[in-house]
Amino acid sequence: MKKPGWKRILTRTAVIAGVLILAAALFIIVFIQRTLPDTEGELKLEALSSEVTVLRDEEGVPHIEAESVEDLYMAQGYVQAQDRLLQMELSRRQASGELSELIGSSTVEQDKFFRALGLRRAAEASLKEYSEEGKAALEAFASGVNAYIDKADAENRLPPAFTLLQAKPEKWTPVDSLTIGKFMAHDLGGHWERQAFQYYAMNNFSEEKAYEVMAHYPENKPAVLDDVNLDIAGDFTEAVMPNPFNGSNNWVVNGERTESGKPLLADDPHLGIASPSIWYQMKLSAPSHNVSGVIFAGVPGIILGHNDDVAWGVTNVGPDVQQLYVEKRNPENREQFLFEGKWEDAVVHQEPIKVSGGETIEYEVVETRNGPIINEFAEGAGEGEALSMRWTAHDPSKELEAILNINQASNWEEFEKGLEDFHTPAQNFVFASSNGTIAYKANGKIPVYDNPDDAGLPLRGWKEEDQWKGFIPFDELPTVVNPDRGWIATANNKITTEEYPYHITNNWAQPYRYERIAEMLEEDDAVTVEDVKKMQMDVKNLQAEEFVPFFVEEMNENNLTAEEEEALELLKEWNYEDNKEAPQPLLFHHWLNEIEDRLYASIPDDIDSLFHGKAQTTDEIFRMEREGKESAWMEEAGGSGEVITQAFRDSFNKLQEDYGKNPEEWAWGDYHQVEFTHPLSNIAFLDKFYNRKEPLPVSGSRVTVRAAGYNGNGKVDHGASWRFILDTDEMDKGYHIVGPGQSERFNSKWYHNQYSDWVDGDYHGTLLDEDEGEKLILSPE
């Protein structure tokens, strides 16, 4: 009998290996598939008092109907956990400074920052202020989340990511929900970075250069801190900075300017673009509720949307609600700080940081009368003077109470009353009612300064006179009801005139989105939902329209090559739309970035990260030069003609290397693309599961109404992850896009089903009274 040859052995081994690999793959597929949540049938949910119906429509939007508010919020917690449990777990850990317990040592410095910032401590203080009704809603929501965790764990059906991370989610608590709310205040509500930058500028640049990069120059302030020596450059290298372009668009039009004869409202908040969306769309119904819209995963209620009578949306006000204070520490007792000639004891919080795969790190946070010391989390910082932060979000606040009340409002008076409890982050609320009212309020807790210049630099923590002087009274916050022109719009633009008696901020967003919205609204006196869809997707670049003629005029065209002249001619012919198929946006944005790099070449990278509002400063430098006033930054860089010409040539040459010699064949969308990446997709092979679709070209930019901010590689990572339109003539139906979809589960049909919808502007209608979809019945035990 012959022995099998090597070829036969190898073949048999290959077959066996192939079978094993196939079997393993099938096992993984079956295992992953069985972890998907149940969306049909009947489930038992302990603690419900009566049956609850959860109907998911074709876009995966859950419509929850309950017979009591407690059952409603319990079911809301259960359903959110079904679709977004991993996101909820990561969100509460990030905001609480507990990511390292799950991820490992790579997030320790980030955890230190959030422990110092104290979002969870602020949430714990806030919970004590809630009414019994508010606490009951939070407890019911947490009970629903925990019911899902327990059931999924018992059935080995937790999201696969928990298996990968070798972890299980902890029990959900009301404080977790409130901590996520405080994180949104961090993401939307600060200006401490600009204060730190301006402090550096005052101490490292000439007076003329410092003046130009100040949002507003604080007269006589340098002398106040003459005896202070803070290393701003070394203190914040590990700080987690909000995206400087966080903002939004909203507008509301009265019935005299709409085709239906009733008010129409639009809102598209701009935050990070990723999988899953920061927003989760839901419809909630109980005897006292019938409300539809979006909420952050991990929080009960509906924060933005509409009910049977009213609709509302928000943009970020961006007021000066954070104040850095320089603290003088007692050299003989590092836990004491000077105030009005006396040493005061600070509060010391013990914050041990658990690290997956490592030892627990002992860490403490020192808190003065002004707030926590926020530069000691950085290695080597805080040995001498220290910086503390006073922040409105550190105060107890009851935003959930506001959400519960505005969800049930039937008119402007009830809605405005509900806003009294919404303190942070400060938001521009626009409102529309089926009774014809349109309204606006810049709502939130905004500090009062004796001298508005004080908001520009760190102040003296040891002086009573440098403390805040209370807050703008609620009844004196900027408010407009039924204006004569028939519409109200905001886009993080300046909202007050010189006559307004209180300081809001000196660092408003660039005006281009607001100006374009105003242009479109003034051109249309019979606005429809279809018109507003086009407005939200508009890509007219008013910044380019303002500055391209100036750039061209400043260009030294004598030594340009034929190809460079061709590119310049393309810009002269441009319609100023940031269209993904056009070459001009690609050239303009790279040209602008190159100019900025030359202007600010002397600013270290770590300080540049604190330079929030840089784009507004650059615009002002351009305007100075255009008007014949010399900018110190521009002159130091070589003068406007030299800077603009060389920036053009360098950016043009780089684009030729990347996209070919012929500029007419370039396209903005070859560079400017969206992918909706998942936070776990950078782990080994997981990108194949979480980032399954190819990046798509996208029109728009940071300054267009269709906001599409991007990083240095052209990846679109910021914009309107939710778009919303409602005509109050049809209160039952809102129009939405939630990019890229409702579910965080990569094997769900609702994971990336709105990916191309977000790119193309294809909205889906959501009914208040939906009766078709996948129905799940939650029954009491």
Place of tokens 């009294």: 420
Among residues 432, 175, 141, the alpha carbon closest in space to that of 284 is found at 141
Among residues 211, 210, 189, 192, the alpha carbon closest in space to that of 201 is found at 210
Q: Is 320 annotated as a binding residue?
A: yes
Rounded Cα distance between 206 and 763, Å, is: 52
Place of tokens 């886009």: 491
Q: CA torsion sign, 64 to 59 to 770 to 733?
A: positive
How many C-beta atoms surround the C-beta of residue 51 within 10 A?
Answer: 15
| Distant-in-sequence, close-in-space partners of 604: CB < 8 Å, separation ≥ 6 | 233
Label residues 431-442 b or e (16+ Cβ within 10 Å = b): bbbbeebbbbbb
Hey, what amino acid is at 135?
K
Q: CA torsion sign, 20 to 26 to 27 to 28?
A: positive
Which is catalytic among the residues 91, 100, 143, 248?
A: 248
Helix, strand or coil, per DSSP, at residue 268: strand
Hey, what amino acid is at 622?
F
**Kindly report the CA angle at 775 between 774 and 779, in degrees rounded to 5?**
155
| Distant-in-sequence, close-in-space partners of 528: CB < 8 Å, separation ≥ 6 | 258, 259, 260, 264, 727
| Distant-in-sequence, close-in-space partners of 185: CB < 8 Å, separation ≥ 6 | 392, 393, 424, 425
Q: Are 52 and 72 in contact (CB under 8 A)?
A: yes
Q: CA torsion sign, 70 to 73 to 74 to 75?
A: positive
Q: CA torsion sign, 746 to 748 to 750 to 756?
A: positive
Active site residue 277: no
Among residues 759, 755, 744, 779, the alpha carbon closest in space to that of 298 is found at 744
Name the token pair of 229: 């020596």
Cβ burial of 496 (10 Å; 0-12, 13-18, 19+) is middle
Among residues 564, 321, 552, the alpha carbon closest in space to that of 447 is found at 321
Rounded Cα distance between 52 and 110, Å, is: 40
Mode of pairing for the β-strands spanning 279-286 and 62-65: parallel
How many C-beta atoms surround the C-beta of residue 618 within 10 A?
Answer: 21
Q: CA torsion sign, 654 to 659 to 662 to 664?
A: negative
Rounded Cα distance between 387 and 753, Å, is: 46
What DSSP state is assigned to residue 581? T
Among residues 722, 718, 764, 713, the alpha carbon closest in space to that of 740 is found at 722
Place of tokens 């679109």: 716
How many C-beta atoms surround the C-beta of residue 691 within 10 A?
Answer: 18
Helix, strand or coil, per DSSP, at residue 250: strand
Rounded Cα distance between 51 and 71, Å, is: 8
Q: Which residues are catalytic?
A: 248
Binding site members: 320
